[in-house]
Amino acid sequence: MSRFGSEGEDIVGRWSEEKLDLLAQYLKAYSNIMNNQKTSNNPTGKPWLRAYYYIDAFAGSVKSKSKEDESRYIEGSPLRALQTEPKFDGYWFVDLSPRRVERVNQLREEFPDRVIETWQGNCNNVLCNEIITRIPSSSKQRAFVFLDPYGLQVNWETVRRLAEARTCDIFVNFSVMGVTRLLPKNQSPGTQVIEQLSKVMGSTDWINQIYRLPTENQLNFFSIQEPQLRRETIQPKWLAVLYLEQLKKLFSHVSKPVLMRNSTNSALYALCLASHNKTAVKITNDIFNRYEKLTV
């Protein structure tokens, strides 16, 4: 459950701060590489890139408060991106909350040399109808898209459209907890749940694996029972890999997932990068490997 402070800001756990640190590390590497593509300082020796953008589809409250110490502020994803050097050619922020969009708009004063645009609305509509059309594959532009929802708000159709544009890398914080919560414990999921999961994950074939009915052989008391994947034993890692497998159908390269866990060690989200570029994924895996070594 999300908690909010007196100004409507999020109150977040340690894992959320770690997610933002991983984002900042990747943005630095990404922006360095992309900036070189705009000059002759790249392996081809020729500038080929016109512009590159940071797109934050769930911009958030700009600053949140730490759950462990509510007097401590944590800089959110818009600030991490705006502070990145070299700067991006534009920063495009989306949020459903008018108050949060207003807060992002105020950042123009703090960052007068950054080109900031904002949209208030459902990011699925904004991305598909207004943003992706600005960066077609022929445009010599690229974008880094951060998808950081509270739950299951990113439609698979949006991910598909981002992949098809061929200009976007997506950094997704996939809510494994959101999926687990939807899966009933004692019965197969109803049509509504299946539709919801299909909308978010693109496929629900895997649901049959979890809830499959015993075959005739397995019903026979004397038969050797095959080990079954069951609802009670579903691991967050398994759901993360499932989502990654889906992403691999759309993007040529997908990083490993890193599981973001709360203070009681429950996995909440799986963070990963999907890209058409091999180097992007290698850099992400290096950053994730270093993080995992520190947190083990």
Nearer to ligand SAM, 11 or 115 (CB): 11
Question: Which of 52, 53, 55, 76 forms a contact with ligand SAM (CB under 6 A)?
Answer: 76
Computed over its alpha carbons, how large is the radius of gyration of the chain?
Answer: 21
Nearer to ligand SAM, 207 or 268 (CB): 268
Taking the complex as a whole, how short is the minimal distance between the CB of residue 275 and ligand SAM, in angstroms?
19
Q: Which span (55-63, 103-111, 185-193, 215-223) binds ligand SAM, by CB under 6 A? A: 55-63
Nearer to ligand SAM, 82 or 207 (CB): 82
Taking the complex as a whole, how short is the minimal distance between the CB of residue 223 and ligand SAM, in angstroms?
48
Taking the complex as a whole, how short is the minimal distance between the CB of residue 296 and ligand SAM, in angstroms?
24
Question: Which of 9, 31, 52, 60 forms a contact with ligand SAM (CB under 6 A)?
Answer: 60
Question: Which of 82, 94, 197, 280 forms a contact with ligand SAM (CB under 6 A)?
Answer: 94
Cα→Cα distances 257→57, 61, 100, 166, 236, Å: 20, 25, 29, 21, 11
Q: What is the DSSP string of 111-172?
A: -TTS-EEEEES-HHHHIIIIIGGGS-GGGSEEEEEEE--SSS-S-HHHHHHHHHHSSEEEEE
* Residues sharing a CB contact under 8 Å with residue 4, sequence separation 6 or more, in sequence order: 10, 11
φ and ψ of 51, to 5 deg: -160, 155
For CA atoms 99, 102, 106, 112, the dihedral sign is positive
Residue written as token pair 């052989």: 217
Binding mask 8-47 for ligand SAM (x = CB under 6 A): ------------x---------------------------
Contact 123, 159 (CB under 8 A): no
Which of the residues 98 through 137 are near ligand SAM (CB under 6 A)? 100, 122-123
Taking the C-alpha atoms of residue 83 and residue 91, their distance in angstroms, rounded to an integer, is: 11
Residue written as token pair 């050619």: 89
Question: Which of 37, 53, 81, 95 forms a contact with ligand SAM (CB under 6 A)?
Answer: 95
Question: Which of 26, 52, 54, 58 forms a contact with ligand SAM (CB under 6 A)?
Answer: 58
Q: Is position 77 an interface residue for ligand SAM (rule: CB under 6 A)?
A: yes
Binding mask 220-259 for ligand SAM (x = CB under 6 A): ----------------------------------------
Binding mask 139-168 for ligand SAM (x = CB under 6 A): ---------xxx--x---------------
Size of the site for ligand SAM (CB under 6 A): 17
Cα→Cα distances 286→7, 26, 119, 293, Å: 37, 10, 33, 11
Q: Which span (24-32, 90-98, 156-164, 184-192) binds ligand SAM, by CB under 6 A? A: 90-98
Using omega within 30 degrees of 0 as the cis cutoff, is the peptide bond preceding 86 cis?
yes
φ and ψ of 112, to 5 deg: -65, -25
The token pair that represents 159 in the structure block: 């991910």
Nearer to ligand SAM, 75 or 286 (CB): 75
Q: Give the binding site for ligand SAM (CB under 6 A).
A: 20, 58, 60-61, 76-77, 94-97, 100, 122-123, 148-150, 153
